[in-house]
C-alpha cells in the first residue's frame, strides 16, 4: 500500500501544481530571454550596418534646426537635449489649455444632457454623438484646413473691439506689459487671495458660532478682482496692454497664437468634451432620485441641494474617469504631428529623430514621458479612490 502511494506520488511528480508552475515559469523566462537577446543581436548588427551610433551623447550636440514656437529660449545653436524640453513644454501648454477648455465644454454639455429642457437635452445629445464618433485626427485637420486656412488675410482680419484679431496667420491677442511698479499690483492680487482665504476661515468660524451664513464665494471673488484693479489705478496703471497692430502685411505686438495650436486645441477639446460630458451625466445620474428628494424635503434650496448633496457624491463617480480622459487628451495631443504644431512627438520623435537617426533612444525617452504621466495619473486615482471610498460595512 505504502509502496503504491510512493509510486503514485513519484509518477505524479509532473502533476504537482507547484512543480509545474515553477517549470512553466522557467520555460517562460527562458523564451523571453532568448527572444530579447535575439532582438538585441539583430539591432546591434543592423545599427552597425547603417553606421548609427548609440547612447545619449547626441543630446548635447547642436540641433541646427529651428522650432516655430518655444516657451523657453531656443534657436538652432541649442542642443538636441533642448529640443526635448521645448517639445515637452509645448505639449504641456496644449495639455493645460486643452484640459481647461474640454472641462468647461464637457461639464456644460453633460449638465445640458440632464436638463429638464427637452431642446437643450437633445442638442447636448447631438453634440456628444457627433463629436465622439468622428476620429479626433479628422477633427483637428478640419479645424486646421477647413476653418483656419480659409480665414481672411491679416488686412481683412476678423476683429473683436480692435484688440483681438483672427486671421489666416493665427489669433492675435493683447499682451500685458509689466511696467515699473507692477509688482505692487501683483502683490495686491496675492494679498487679495490671502484675504479671501482668511475671510473664508473667519466666515466658517462665525457660522459655527452664530449660524449666520456669509456669502464667502461672492465677496471673496469680488475682493480678488477688485483689489488689484483699485491698486492698479492708484499706482498709476503700471501694467498696460500691448495691442497687436497691423504693420504692413502682418500684425506686430501682442501675443500670437499660431493656427496649429488653435486647431489642435479646438479638435482635442471638443472631442474630449464629448467623453467628459458622458462622465458627468453618468456621475449625476448615479445619485439616486431619493437623495435629491430627501434634501428637498429638509427644505434645502435647489442650489444647496446641488452643492451639498449632489455634487460631492457625483464627484466620486466623475473624477476617476475624468483623469483617464485628461490622460487621453494629453496622449492625443501627439496628433499635432499631422498639422505641424511643435509638441514632443513632432519635434523630438519627428525632426530630432530624422536628424540623428537614434530611434531607440528617442522613442524610449518619448514613451517614458507618457508612461510617467500615466503612472502619476493612476497613482492619483488609487489615492483618490481610497480616500473618497464611501464607508460601508
Partner 1 sequence: MHAEVEEKEKQSVSLKHMAGTETMIELRGVNKWYGDFHVLKDINLTVRKGERIVVCGPSGSGKSTMIRCINRLEEHQEGIIDVNGVTLTNDLKNIEHIRKDVGMVFQHFNLFPHLTVLENCTLAPIWVRKMPRKETEEIAMKYLERVKIPDQANKYPGQLSGGQQQRVAIARSLCMNPEVMLFDEPTSALDPEMIKEVLDVMIELAQEGMTMICVTHEMGFARTVANRVIFMDGGQIIEENAPEPFFNSPQSERTQLFLSQILSH
Partner 2 sequence: MIVNDKNIPSRPAPASTRGIAGWLRENLFSTPGNSVLTFMGLAFLVWAIPPIFQWAVLQADFIGVNKEACTSEGACWVFVSARFQQFMYGFYPDTELWRVNIFFAQMTAVLVWVLWDKMPRRTWGGVWFLTGFPLTSFILLHGGFLGLETVETHKWGGLMLTLVLSLVGMVIALPIGILLALGRRSDMPAVSSFCTVFIEIWRGVPLITILFMASVMLPLFIPGDIELDKLARAMIGISLFEAALIAEVIRGGLQAMPKGQYEAADAMGLSYWQGMRLIIMPQVLKISIPGIVNTFVQLFKDTSLVLIIGLFDLLAVMQAGITDVNWPNISIEAFVFTGFVFWAFCFGMSRYSVALERKLDTGHKS
Q: Which of 107, 193, 374, 384 binds partner 2 (CB under 8 A)?
A: 374
Q: Rule CB under 8 A: which residues touch partner 1? A: 207-213, 288, 290-291, 293-302, 304, 308-309, 312-313, 316, 390-393
Task: Kindly state whether residue 130 participates in binding partner 2, applying the rule CB under 8 A.
Answer: yes
Q: How many residues does the chain have?
A: 393
User: From the CB of 287, what's the least distance to partner 1, in Å?
Assistant: 10
User: From the CB of 292, what's the least distance to partner 1, in Å?
Assistant: 9
Residue 375's region, left for phi above 0, alpha for psi from -120 to 50, else beta, is alpha
User: From the CB of 295, what's the least distance to partner 1, in Å?
Assistant: 8
Task: Kindly state whether residue 51 participates in binding partner 2, applying the rule CB under 8 A.
Answer: no
Show contacts with partner 2 in window 336-365 (CB under 8 A): 337-338, 345, 349, 353, 359-360, 363
* CA 298 to chain CA mean position, Å: 40
Task: Kindly state whether residue 145 participates in binding partner 2, applying the rule CB under 8 A.
Answer: yes
* Interatomic CA distance for residues 89 and 101, integer angstroms: 18
Which partner, partner 2, partner 1, none, binds residue 183 by CB below 5 to 8 Å per kind? none
User: From the CB of 302, what's the least distance to partner 1, in Å?
Assistant: 8
Whether the Cβ atoms of residue 65 and residue 76 lie closer than 8 Å to each other = yes
Smaller CB distance to partner 1: residue 6 or 288? 288
* Interatomic CA distance for residues 214 and 205, integer angstroms: 10
Whether the Cβ atoms of residue 98 and residue 267 lie closer than 8 Å to each other = no
Torsion of CA 39, 44, 46, 50, to 10 degrees: 150
User: From the CB of 206, what's the least distance to partner 1, in Å?
Assistant: 9
Which partner, partner 1, partner 2, none, binds residue 290 by CB below 5 to 8 Å per kind? partner 1
Beta strands per DSSP E along the chain: 158-160, 164-167, 170-173, 175-178, 239-242, 245-247, 250-252, 255-257
Which partner, partner 1, partner 2, none, binds residue 208 by CB below 5 to 8 Å per kind? partner 1
Whether the Cβ atoms of residue 192 and residue 224 lie closer than 8 Å to each other = yes
User: From the CB of 303, what's the least distance to partner 2, in Å?
Assistant: 13
Beta strands 170-173; 175-178: pairing state: unpaired
Which partner, partner 2, partner 1, none, binds residue 308 by CB below 5 to 8 Å per kind? partner 1
* CA 212 to chain CA mean position, Å: 40
Closest CA to 141 of 258, 272, 268: 268
Whether the Cβ atoms of residue 321 and residue 279 lie closer than 8 Å to each other = yes
Backbone angles phi, psi at 45, to 5 degrees: -60, -50
Task: Kindly state whether residue 104 participates in binding partner 2, applying the rule CB under 8 A.
Answer: no
User: From the CB of 279, what's the least distance to partner 1, in Å?
Assistant: 19
SS3 category, 19: helix
Whether the Cβ atoms of residue 76 and residue 331 lie closer than 8 Å to each other = no
User: From the CB of 390, what's the least distance to partner 1, in Å?
Assistant: 5
Residue 51's region, left for phi above 0, alpha for psi from -120 to 50, else beta, is left
Smaller CB distance to partner 2: residue 45 or 156? 45
Smaller CB distance to partner 2: residue 131 or 172? 131
Task: Kindly state whether residue 100 participates in binding partner 2, applying the rule CB under 8 A.
Answer: no
Smaller CB distance to partner 1: residue 5 or 390? 390
User: From the CB of 113, what's the least distance to partner 1, in Å?
Assistant: 23
Which residues make up the interface to partner 2 (CB under 8 A)?
21, 24-25, 28-29, 32, 39, 42-43, 45-47, 49, 115-120, 123, 129-130, 133-138, 141-142, 145-146, 149-150, 331-332, 334-335, 337-338, 345, 349, 353, 359-360, 363, 366-367, 370-371, 374-375
Amino acid at each position: 500500500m505504502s509502496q503504491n502511494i510512493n509510486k503514485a506520488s513519484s509518477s505524479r511528480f509532473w502533476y504537482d501544481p507547484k512543480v509545474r508552475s515553477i517549470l512553466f515559469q522557467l520555460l517562460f523566462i527562458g523564451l523571453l530571454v532568448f527572444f530579447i537577446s535575439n532582438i538585441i543581436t539583430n539591432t546591434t548588427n543592423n545599427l552597425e550596418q547603417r553606421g548609427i551610433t548609440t547612447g545619449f551623447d547626441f543630446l548635447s550636440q547642436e540641433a541646427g534646426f529651428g522650432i516655430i514656437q518655444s516657451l523657453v529660449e531656443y534657436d538652432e545653436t541649442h542642443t538636441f537635449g533642448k529640443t526635448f524640453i521645448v517639445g515637452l513644454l509645448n505639449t504641456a501648454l496644449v495639455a493645460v489649455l486643452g484640459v481647461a477648455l474640454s472641462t468647461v465644454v464637457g461639464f456644460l454639455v453633460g449638465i445640458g444632457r440632464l436638463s429638464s429642457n427637452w431642446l437643450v437635452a437633445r442638442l447636448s445629445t447631438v453634440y456628444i454623438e457627433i463629436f465622439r464618433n468622428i476620429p479626433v485626427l479628422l477633427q483637428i485637420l478640419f479645424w486646421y484646413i477647413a476653418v483656419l486656412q480659409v480665414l481672411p488675410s491679416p488686412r481683412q482680419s476678423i476683429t473683436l473691439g480692435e484688440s483681438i484679431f483672427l486671421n489666416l496667420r493665427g489669433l492675435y491677442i493683447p499682451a500685458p506689459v509689466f511696467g515699473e511698479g507692477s509688482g505692487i499690483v501683483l502683490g495686491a492680487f496675492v494679498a487679495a487671495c490671502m484675504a479671501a482665504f482668511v475671510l473664508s476661515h473667519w466666515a466658517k468660524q462665525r457660522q459655527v458660532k452664530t449660524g449666520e451664513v456669509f456669502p464667502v464665494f461672492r465677496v471673496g471673488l469680488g475682493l480678488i478682482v477688485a483689489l488689484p484693479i483699485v491698486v492698479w489705478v492708484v499706482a498709476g496703471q503700471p501694467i498696460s496692454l500691448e495691442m497687436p497692430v497691423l504693420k504692413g502685411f502682418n500684425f506686430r505686438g501682442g501675443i500670437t497664437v499660431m493656427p496649429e495650436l488653435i486647431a489642435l486645441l479646438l479638435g482635442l477639446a471638443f472631442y474630449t468634451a464629448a467623453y467628459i460630458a458622458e462622465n458627468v451625466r453618468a456621475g449625476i445620474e448615479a445619485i439616486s432620485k431619493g437623495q435629491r428628494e430627501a434634501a428637498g424635503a429638509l427644505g434645502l434650496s435647489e442650489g444647496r441641494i446641488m452643492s451639498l448633496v449632489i455634487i460631492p457624491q457625483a464627484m466620486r463617480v466623475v473624477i476617476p474617469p475624468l483623469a483617464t480622459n485628461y490622460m487621453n487628451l494629453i496622449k492625443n495631443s501627439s496628433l499635432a504631428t499631422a498639422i505641424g504644431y511643435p509638441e514632443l512627438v513632432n519635434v523630438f520623435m519627428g525632426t530630432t529623430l530624422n536628424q540623428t537617426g537614434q530611434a531607440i533612444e528617442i522613442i524610449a525617452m518619448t514613451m517614458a514621458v507618457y508612461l510617467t504621466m500615466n503612472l502619476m495619473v493612476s497613482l492619483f486615482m488609487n489615492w483618490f479612490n481610497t480616500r473618497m471610498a464611501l464607508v460601508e460595512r
